[in-house]
Amino acid sequence: MSSEDETERKIDAFIAQRSKFVTAREFEGNGKTLLFNSSKVTPDKPGKYGPVVEYIVKELSGIERIVNASAISLIYALRVKLGEKPKGTDVKLLVKKSGTGMDTRYTVEHAN
């Protein structure tokens, strides 16, 4: 592992420890891998700018955080991937964000 990769890992760990919420910015670039569980989803939760779907997720380090999703592309992709596994199963997913504003798109794939 290069020192640059190690630095990025340490920054990610620092963010996870300091912030209870996963921000959209964390999904940019190479994306972010998190453990999702279909039994830890709350639809129609009040969010900062209106209703959201709240996912309680785990960082790979084990820290629990919250993903508040309002983007239809993210909610739909998560629903499809979580539906592929038995309910209540932890699913390691890589979430990536591209674009800005109205052109924002999320992709979700199973992570290794």
pLDDT tens per residue, range 30-69: 999 999 999 999 999 998 889 999 999 999 989 999 999 9
Residue 1 is predicted with a pLDDT of 64
Residue bearing the bigger pLDDT, 19 or 80: 80
Domain extent, residue 46, equals 3-110
Tell me the pLDDT of the chain averaged across its residues. Answer: 92
pLDDT tens per residue, range 61-84: 899 999 999 999 999 999 999 999
Please count the structural domains in the chain: 1
| Distance from the first to the final alpha carbon of the chain | 17
Nearest CA-CA partner of 37 in 82, 81, 80: 82
Assigned token pair, 36: 């999702």
pLDDT at residue 13 is higher than 90: no
